[in-house]
Structure 1
Amino acid sequence: MGIIRVTNIRIYAFHGCLEEESKIGSDYRVDVAVKANLQISAKSDQLQDTVDYVHINRIVKEEMGIRSKLLEHVAKRILNRIFNEIDIANEATVEVSKINPPIGGNVQMVTIEMTSKRS
């Protein structure tokens, strides 16, 4: 077993419950960790035998481009796509952070974290 991490994917998106968030958008950070059996790729040295982090980055960018009111919703969509598209993924954790959220205070970011296992 091993873990592939894609950390600090920076994206500008339009998520949130407030109407103004859908118009002005915000900066987001997404972190993904995928657990999988990496022994095969360690031996074969072939991209098709591992978790392709370019593929993970593409999933994150595409799903972050679809507006959601809640960060939980977009994180769940990312998790669903990981398990639908990456056969060797056994478990995945997604963290979605909104940078400088509009909550009336000096807050660097808010983060939701979700973990799922292949069923």
Structure 2
Amino acid sequence: MGIIKVNNIKLYAYHGCLDEEAKIGSAYRVDVIVEADLKKSAKTDELADTVDYVHLNHVVKEEMAIRSKLLEEVAQRILDRFFRELKMIEKATVSVSKINPPIGGNVEEVVVILTKER
């Protein structure tokens, strides 16, 4: 088993329960960890034998562009697409961070982390 990480995917999106969040948006960071059998790709040096991190990034960008009230829903959509589209993935963790959330205090970020296994 091996691990592929895609760290610090920076995006601007419009998630949140407040009407203002839908209008002005916010900065987000997404981190992805996937586990898969990487023994074959380590020998063949072929992209077809591994989990393509370009595809992981593409899924994150597309799903983050779809507005949701809750970060949990966004993270779950990302995980569901990973497992639907990338059959090699055995386990994945997605962390969605809202930078400077509007919660009436000096808070750097709010983070939701979800994990899914095949």
Q: Which TM-score band applies after superposition, normalised by the shorter structure?
A: over 0.9
Percent of paired sites with the same residue: 66
Query: 1:102 corresponds to which residue?
Result: 102
The whole-number CA distance in structure 1 between the counterparts of 2:57 and 2:3 is 15
Which 5+ residue runs of structure 1 have no aligned equivalent? none
Following superposition, the deviation at residue 16 of structure 1 comes to 0.1
Query: 1:14 corresponds to which residue?
Result: 14
The whole-number CA distance in structure 2 between the counterparts of 1:105 and 1:50 is 43
Name the TM-score, length of structure 2 as normaliser. 0.99
Query: 2:112 corresponds to which residue?
Result: 112
Which 5+ residue runs of structure 2 have no aligned equivalent? none
Following superposition, the deviation at residue 5 of structure 1 comes to 0.2
| Equivalent position SS for 1:106 | coil
Q: CA RMSD in A?
A: 0.3
Following superposition, the deviation at residue 93 of structure 1 comes to 0.1
**1:1-119 alignment, distance < 5 Å:** 1-118=1-118
| Equivalent position SS for 2:48 | helix
Aligned length: 118
The whole-number CA distance in structure 2 between the counterparts of 1:70 and 1:41 is 36
Name the TM-score, length of structure 1 as normaliser. 0.99
The whole-number CA distance in structure 2 between the counterparts of 1:62 and 1:90 is 22
Following superposition, the deviation at residue 32 of structure 1 comes to 0.3
The whole-number CA distance in structure 2 between the counterparts of 1:48 and 1:32 is 20
Following superposition, the deviation at residue 78 of structure 1 comes to 0.2
